[in-house]
């Protein structure tokens, strides 16, 4: 006869409630690890999907995802002249917040070097990649935009032609992919009155210079578009994405570009390390501390529960000792209950988590190694937590049943 099973049947209601409560606590612990894994995936998803060999960014910066980077758009032509470079595409990344359907909408805008890069590498779940140079966008599902929906950014209206999945920024904002020109138009969009005032101020400054007095026809160009004035630079881009020809030594390409005084060049692996070690590192430490605290709390709660269950059975345990039961029988009774409580609590945590975690605003990713480690920790905590109850049970005297 299994004493642990009979005792649980005798107190089935309390045991079930205790198991569910412990399961909810373990679910939070499990979710902490899943949130960290989700943060890493969100931070590195774009770098992994683009599968570039190198990222050329502004000198002494860490790239477009870790901090602001500004390089001239013609840098892609310079990079393309380096021996061994197969493709060199400009890339733009910035975040905007707009009002949509009466609610704030935060979007991480990614500019692709169309027509070389049409976004065909994106994990599309519906729709298509970019097919024209202007007024099309590919949006992540988390933005809640529908295929074919039109949305206005700045002075232009863009149509959602494709939907992606799991393409979010390190901050959790959904990504939207535009052509390079459209992303720059969104980034540098300013009101018409601001444009007029800037041109008037530019014209007034030119009139005060010698060229304004000697060449009146020349300064009239100050009233025109900035792109028509050679002295003014074109809008900059965030980075240049480089792919090396198959069979060519990537180290040689990196060594050549790294000697340029105005840029820094990093491999995709280094960019990934910047993201994980910078943006995600603090969140990882915080989530790790919470996991440790929750495990300690779980151990304390399990110890108190098992101790309480043991106290309730002191009369029965004394009776067992009086009739000659060995200590191993009593030890198995408490140890089996502790392990069953931990295993069932873990199962409840996993089952409820599969239903609850998809509802979280940030991605929760459960990987097998984390689940196995947590399972081993739960077993260890169950064994350690039972020690207090075992000690109390083994120290009771058989004659106490007569008291």
| pLDDT tens digit sequence for 291-324 | 888 878 877 887 777 777 777 776 666 676 666 6
Which pLDDT belongs to residue 195?
A: 64
Average pLDDT over residues 353-381: 87
CA distances to 74, 179, 240 from 83, in Å: 17, 27, 16
Which pLDDT belongs to residue 308?
A: 76
CA distances to 252, 265, 387 from 271, in Å: 19, 10, 48
User: Hey, CA dihedral for 356, 360, 364, 370, is it positive or negative?
Assistant: negative
Poorest-pLDDT segment among 59-63, 128-132, 244-248, 364-368? 59-63
> Does residue 65 lie within any of the structural domains?
no
Spatial contact of 85 and 253, defined as CB atoms under 8 Å apart: yes
Spatial contact of 210 and 184, defined as CB atoms under 8 Å apart: no
Poorest-pLDDT segment among 81-90, 150-159, 217-226, 285-294? 217-226
What mean pLDDT is reported for the chain? 81
φ, ψ for residue 160, nearest 5 deg: -80, 110
Confidence check: pLDDT of 208 > 60: yes
> Does residue 120 lie within any of the structural domains?
no
> Does residue 209 lie within any of the structural domains?
no
> Does residue 333 lie within any of the structural domains?
yes
Confidence check: pLDDT of 247 > 50: yes
Which pLDDT belongs to residue 137?
A: 94
- State the Cα torsion 207-210-214-217 to the nearest 10°: -40
For residue range 274-295, list pLDDT tens digits in order: 887 777 777 778 888 888 888 7
Range of the domain at 379: 3-42+281-402
Spatial contact of 201 and 36, defined as CB atoms under 8 Å apart: no
> Does residue 27 lie within any of the structural domains?
yes
Q: Which long-range contacts (CB under 8 A, 24 or more apart) does 150-155 make?
A: 151/100, 153/96, 153/98, 153/186, 153/189, 154/185, 154/186, 154/189, 155/185, 155/189
More confident residue, 216 or 373: 373
> Does residue 338 lie within any of the structural domains?
yes
**Helix 327-356 to helix 314-322 angle, to the nearest 10 degrees?**
150
Q: In whole angstroms, what is the distance from residue 374 CA to residue 29 CA?
A: 9
% residues pLDDT > 70 (the chain): 82
User: Hey, CA dihedral for 316, 322, 325, 326, is it positive or negative?
Assistant: positive
Whose structure tokens read 């399972």? 375
For residue range 161-188, list pLDDT tens digits in order: 999 988 888 777 889 999 988 988 888 7
Q: In whole angstroms, what is the distance from residue 238 CA to residue 101 CA?
A: 30
- Nearest CA to 143 out of 170, 106, 184, 115 is that of 106
Poorest-pLDDT segment among 3-12, 33-42, 136-145, 367-376? 3-12
Show the 3-state SS of the chain: CCHHHHHHHHCHHHHHHHHHHHHHHHHHHHHHHHHHHHHHHHHHHHHHHHCCCEEEEECCCCCCCCCCCCECCCHHHHHHCCCCEEEEEEEEEEEEEEEECCEEEEEEEEEECCCCCCCCCCCEEEECCCCCCCCEEEEEHHHCCCCCCEEEECCEEEEEEEEECCCECCCCCEEEEEEHHHHHHHHCCCCHHHHHHHHHHHHHHHHCCHHHHHCHHHHHHHHCCHHHCCCCCCCCECEEEEEECCCCCHHHHHHHHHCCCCEEEEEHHHHHHHHHHHHCHHHHHHHHHHHHHHHHHHHHHHHHHHHHHHHHCHHHHHHHHHCCCCHHHHHHHHHHHHHHHHHHHHHHHHHHHHHHHHHCCCCCCCCHHHHHHHHHHHHHHHHHHHHHHHHHHHHCCHHHHHC
User: What's the structural domain count of the chain?
Assistant: 1
Confidence check: pLDDT of 123 > 50: yes
More confident residue, 296 or 136: 136
> Does residue 148 lie within any of the structural domains?
no
Which pLDDT belongs to residue 232?
A: 52
> Does residue 85 lie within any of the structural domains?
no
Which pLDDT belongs to residue 25?
A: 85
Spatial contact of 43 and 279, defined as CB atoms under 8 Å apart: yes
Contacts of 69 (CB under 8 A, 6+ apart): 57, 58, 61, 62, 63, 238, 239
Model-wide pTM > 0.85: no
**Residue 1: which pLDDT band, with cuts at 50, 70 and 90?**
very low
């Amino acid at each position: 006869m299994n004493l642990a099973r009979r005792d649980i049947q005798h107190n089935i209601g309390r045991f079930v409630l205790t198991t569910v409560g412990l399961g909810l606590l373990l679910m939070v612990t499990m979710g902490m690890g899943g949130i960290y894994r989700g943060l890493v995936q969100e931070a590195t998803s774009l770098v992994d999907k683009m599968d570039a060999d190198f990222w050329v960014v502004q000198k002494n910066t860490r790239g477009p995802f870790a901090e602001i980077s500004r390089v001239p758009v013609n840098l892609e032509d310079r990079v393309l002249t380096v021996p061994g470079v197969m493709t060199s595409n400009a890339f733009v990344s910035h975040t905007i917040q707009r009002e949509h359907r009466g609610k704030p909408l935060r979007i991480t805008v990614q500019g692709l070097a169309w027509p070389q890069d049409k976004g065909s590498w994106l994990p599309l779940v519906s729709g298509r990649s970019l097919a024209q140079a202007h007024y099309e966008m590919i949006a992540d599902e988390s933005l809640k935009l529908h295929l074919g929906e039109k949305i206005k950014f700045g002075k232009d209206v863009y149509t959602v032609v494709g939907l992606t999945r799991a393409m979010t920024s390190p901050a959790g904002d959904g990504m939207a992919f535009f052509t390079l020109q459209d992303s720059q138009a969104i980034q540098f969009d300013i009101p018409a009155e601001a444009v007029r005032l800037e041109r008037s101020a530019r014209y007034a400054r030119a009139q005060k210079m010698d060229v304004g007095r000697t060449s009146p026809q020349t300064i009239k160009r100050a009233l025109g578009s900035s792109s028509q004035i050679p002295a003014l630079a074109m809008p900059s881009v965030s980075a240049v994405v480089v792919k090396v020809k198959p069979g060519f030594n990537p180290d040689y390409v990196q060594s050549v570009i790294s000697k340029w005084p105005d840029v820094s060049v990093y491999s995709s692996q280094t960019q990934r390390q910047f993201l994980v070690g910078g943006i995600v590192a603090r969140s990882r430490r915080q989530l790790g501390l919470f996991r440790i605290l929750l495990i300690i709390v779980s151990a304390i709660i399990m110890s108190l529960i098992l101790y309480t269950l043991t106290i309730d059975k002191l009369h029965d345990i004394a009776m067992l000792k009086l009739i000659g039961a060995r200590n191993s029988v009593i030890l198995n009774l408490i140890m089996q209950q502790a392990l069953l409580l931990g295993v069932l609590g873990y199962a409840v945590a996993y089952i409820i988590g599969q239903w609850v975690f998809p509802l979280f605003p940030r991605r929760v990713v459960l990987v097998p190694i984390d689940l196995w480690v947590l399972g081993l920790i739960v077993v260890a905590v169950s064994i350690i937590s039972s020690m207090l109850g075992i000690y109390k049970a083994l120290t009771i005297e058989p004659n106490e049943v007569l008291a």
